Amino acid sequence: MPDRDPTRRTSRIPHLLDRVLQHHRDDPGSDEPQPPDPEIEQRIAVLEQRIEHLERLLEGLQDSVHRESTRLDADLEDLKRRIDPAELSRSLGRHARDHGL
């Protein structure tokens, strides 16, 4: 899995939010800038919280996928080692001796 900066996309959100709010404040249809609408500010705050929560969930999922991938790689390596012809022959010989075959 390539190493990526998990904050790469989210580091642009505050800048984008500032631009949207500035555009909203500088509405060319009015002579004086409008104060920010508290309802919009509240909705933006709620959306920011939801995004942060989703980022935490995504990080947890990435960690889980990495752990599972690592575990499966180790299992595959163990399986490859066990089916190596020389190792398989030794294991069959031990089994035969242990069971009197």
Model confidence over 27-85: pLDDT tens digits?
655 556 677 788 999 999 999 999 999 999 999 999 999 999 999 999 999 999 988 88
> Reduced to 3 states, what is the DSSP secondary structure of residue 45?
helix
Mean pLDDT of 17-21: 77
Q: How confident is the model at residue 17 (pLDDT cuts 50, 70, 90)?
A: confident
Q: How far is CA 5 from CA 26, 56, 59, in A?
A: 34, 14, 11
Bigger pLDDT: 18 vs 87: 87
